[in-house]
């Protein structure tokens, strides 16, 4: 009986050896690759957390500089954040904060440079759209109307399209182009939709360029009634 069991054990051992000889190297590599992937993922997560913590600390420094009204310090803090953590949300948020502060301090060129960086190099479509809208406003104030319109020609997320049209209308109105302004304001008025508080401001702008918003609402109401 013992001999029979020994033979079965030997056969199993031989099969195991044959299996290992055939697939052992592959199994070893799979285990090593899985282990390496887990280590890499954990390392990446640690790196991301560390980057975020350092970027948050720099953002706090930037915010303190803004609160203190120290334009040079604001510029240095932003430059440091841009150099070290350009792809973080903190860098884009910090850029918008820095640009507003610099503009308030009369530093228009540095402010526009910061906004242009977000518009071109930002990773979040929403922040990029906000930067373009604000940059267009600053360029409009400088009477760089063509450059302002160029900023607004770039694609933006759908939720920003009404604001872009409104800003385009402002630019056209600033340079005396009433027809172009009216067309842009009509587009903004339609995009904002009923019940939007900002739509009331657009209605005032439409009146300023000779368009009665009631003439826009009437066709829309008529179309709604005829819809089966």
Nearest-Å Rg of the Cα atoms of the chain is 31
Q: Give me the CATH number covering residue 110.
A: 1.25.40
C-beta of residue 105 within 8 angstroms of C-beta of residue 69:
yes
Question: Is 149 found in the same domain as 70?
Answer: yes
Domain range for 66: 59-153
pLDDT band at 45 (very low <50, low <70, confident <90, very high): low
Q: Domain count for the chain, please give it.
A: 2
Position 195 confidence tier, pLDDT thresholds 50, 70, 90: confident
Give the integer Cα–Cα distance in Å for 115 and 93.
11
Percent helix / strand / coil, the chain, rounded to 5: 85, 0, 15
pLDDT of residue 29: 74
For residue 221, name the pLDDT band (cuts at 50, 70, 90).
very low
Letter string b/e over residues 89-101, b meaning 16 or more CB atoms within 10 A of that residue's CB: bbbbbbbbbbbbb
Whether residues 77 and 149 fall in one domain = yes
Q: From residue 55, how far is each of 21, 64, 110, 220 by CA, in Å? A: 51, 14, 21, 49
User: What is the band of 16 on the pLDDT scale with cuts at 50, 70, 90?
Assistant: confident
Same structural domain, 67 and 145: yes
Give the ranges where 142-227 is alpha helix by DSSP (H). 145-152, 161-174, 178-192, 197-208, 213-226
Q: Is 68 in the same domain as 128?
A: yes
Question: What's the pLDDT at 41?
Answer: 53
Q: Are 152 and 132 in contact (CB under 8 A)?
A: yes
Task: Decide if 29 is inside a domain.
Answer: no
Residue 221 falls inside a structural domain: no
Per-residue pLDDT tens digits for 20-36: 777 767 777 776 666 66
Residues 6+ apart with CB under 8 A from 212: 206
Same domain, 173 and 96: no
What CA–CA distances, in Å, run from 114 to 74, 81, 93? 11, 12, 11
Query: d(Cα 163, Cα 180) in Å, to the nearest integer?
Result: 16
Residues 138 and 169 in one domain: no
Angle of the 2-68 helix axis to the 71-84 helix axis, nearest 10? 160
Distances (CA, A) of 89 to 52, 53, 84, 123: 9, 12, 13, 8
């Amino acid at each position: 009986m013992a001999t029979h069991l020994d033979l079965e054990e030997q056969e199993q051992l031989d099969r195991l050896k044959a299996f290992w000889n055939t697939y052992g190297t592959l199994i070893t590599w799979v285990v090593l690759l899985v282990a390496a992937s887990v280590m890499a993922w954990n390392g990446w997560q640690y790196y991301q957390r560390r980057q975020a913590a350092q970027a948050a600390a720099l953002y706090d420094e930037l915010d303190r500089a803004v609160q203190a009204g120290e334009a040079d310090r604001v510029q240095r803090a932003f430059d440091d954040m841009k150099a070290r953590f350009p792809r973080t949300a903190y860098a884009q948020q910090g850029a918008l904060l820095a640009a507003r502060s610099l503009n308030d301090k009369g530093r228009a060129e540095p402010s526009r440079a910061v906004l242009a960086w977000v518009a071109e190099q930002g990773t979040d479509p929403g922040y990029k759209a906000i930067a373009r809208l604000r940059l267009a406003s600053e360029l409009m104030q400088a009477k760089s109307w063509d450059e302002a319109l160029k900023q607004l020609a770039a694609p933006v997320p759908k939720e920003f399209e009404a604001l872009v049209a409104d800003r385009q209308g402002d630019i056209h109105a600033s340079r005396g182009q009433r027809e172009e302004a009216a067309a842009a304001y009509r587009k903004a008025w339609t995009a904002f939709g009923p019940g939007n508080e900002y739509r009331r401001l657009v209605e005032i702008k439409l009146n300023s360029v000779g368009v009665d918003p009631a003439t826009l609402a009437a066709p829309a109401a008529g179309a709604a009634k005829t819809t089966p």
